[in-house]
């Protein structure tokens, strides 16, 4: 699933496309997308006649603002296989296209999602911000002021494994499995250590490591393990710079010990048994 760096790469691509003309028409496929009460009413027709404005990101969500009689927005969640692109209106639509939002300059925003776990929703910007899923999101790890204390405040009382706790979007927005595993390696923290047992110095290391891996991911245009593409259809480059994720059995880049895979809570990961040694107690078996 695209995480913060991948979504940020898409956001920047939409900004670079410089779409400025108002919406003239909308096409939506007959296939449903993301399941859940927050996505049931897509309300996309309200965008017809509105003019596109700023494109923002909140966690793993893209918020594209539109101006009209009221301040509107289009909320986009890429799910697992969702892609956004801007194309000429007459160009053939890719298979699994579910939205074509046409603008007065004869271009279209197209949303393609083979597995249909992505989501689309439009409405008043204030209403979208004040309701789930946006209203439930936690702190942004790339915002000023994010540090070990802020991370500890959100997760320090949790008895969950720290890797699993980091994936809680109501605590920290935008972090997924790839970047959590990478940050824990850099911070030298065992992924299955209980969050509640971490010391203040460990929280400081982890917060700094999260910022580092997320910024690296953005600089590299995201991580493409299978499906992710940016707005112009390019794959990310960050998979080439991952330290441990997907590299089980290979030498640790720090100590040379063979990296080990683990699975917990239905999600796999990789760790170094030397640099991320099991803590004495306080870890989840």
Domain boundary pick from 85, 112, 136: 136
Question: How far apart, in whole angstroms, are the C-alpha atoms of residue 283 and residue 278?
Answer: 7
Check if 88 is active-site.
no
Q: What is the pLDDT of residue 18?
A: 97
Are 84 and 180 within one domain?
Answer: no
Which tens digits make up the pLDDT trace of 28-77? Answer: 999 999 878 889 899 999 999 999 999 999 999 999 999 988 899 999 99
Enter the pTM of the model. Answer: 0.94
Alpha helices in 114-161, H assignment, sequence order: 125-130, 148-155
* 60 labelled catalytic: yes
Q: 11 and 128 share a domain?
A: yes
Catalytic residue among 3, 6, 8, 182: 3
Residue 47, domain CATH: 3.20.190.10
Tokens coding 228: 């992710």
**pLDDT band at 285, cuts 50/70/90?**
low
Q: Which of 137, 231, 218, 213 has the alpha carbon at shortest distance from 177?
A: 213
**Catalytic choice (11, 34, 57, 60):** 60
Phi-psi domain of 221 (left: phi exceeds 0; alpha: psi -120 through 50; beta: other): left
Residue 247 appears among annotated catalytic residues: no
What is d(CA 107, CA 48) in angstroms, rounded to the nearest whole number? 14
User: Domain range for residue 9?
Assistant: 4-136
pLDDT on residue 69: 83
Residue where the block lists tokens 């992924």? 191
> Does residue 279 have a pLDDT over 90?
no
The residue whose two tokens read 């979208």 is 128
> Does residue 284 fall inside a structural domain?
no
Whether omega before 133 lies within 30 degrees of 0, making that bond cis, reads yes
């Amino acid at each position: 699933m695209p995480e913060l760096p991948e979504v940020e790469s898409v956001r920047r691509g939409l900004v670079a496309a410089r779409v400025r003309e108002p919406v003239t028409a909308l096409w939506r496929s007959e296939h449903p997308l993301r399941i859940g009460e927050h996505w049931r009413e897509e309300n996309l027709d309200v965008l017809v006649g509105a003019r596109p404005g700023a494109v923002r990101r909140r966690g793993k969500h893209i918020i594209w603002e539109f101006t009209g009689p009221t301040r509107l927005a289009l909320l986009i969640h890429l799910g697992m296989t969702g892609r956004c692109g801007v194309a000429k209106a007459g160009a053939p639509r890719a298979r699994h296209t579910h939205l074509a939002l046409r603008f007065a300059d004869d271009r279209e925003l197209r949303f393609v999602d083979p597995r249909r776990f992505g989501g689309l929703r439009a409405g008043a910007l204030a209403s979208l911000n004040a309701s789930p899923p946006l209203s439930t999101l936690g702190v942004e790890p790339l915002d000023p002021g994010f540090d070990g204390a802020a991370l500890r405040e959100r997760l320090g009382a949790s008895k969950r494994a720290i890797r699993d706790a980091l994936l809680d979007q109501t605590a920290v927005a935008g972090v997924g499995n790839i970047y959590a595993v990478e940050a824990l390696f850099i911070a030298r923290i065992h992924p299955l250590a209980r969050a509640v047992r971490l010391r203040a110095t460990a929280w400081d290391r982890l917060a700094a490591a999260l910022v580092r891996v997320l910024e690296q991911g953005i600089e590299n245009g995201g991580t493409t393990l299978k499906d992710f593409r940016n707005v112009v259809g390019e794959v990310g480059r960050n998979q080439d710079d991952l330290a441990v994720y997907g590299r089980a059995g290979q030498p640790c880049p720090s100590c040379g010990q063979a990296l080990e895979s683990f699975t917990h809570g239905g999600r796999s990961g990789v760790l170094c048994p030397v640099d991320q040694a099991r803590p004495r107690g306080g870890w989840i078996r």
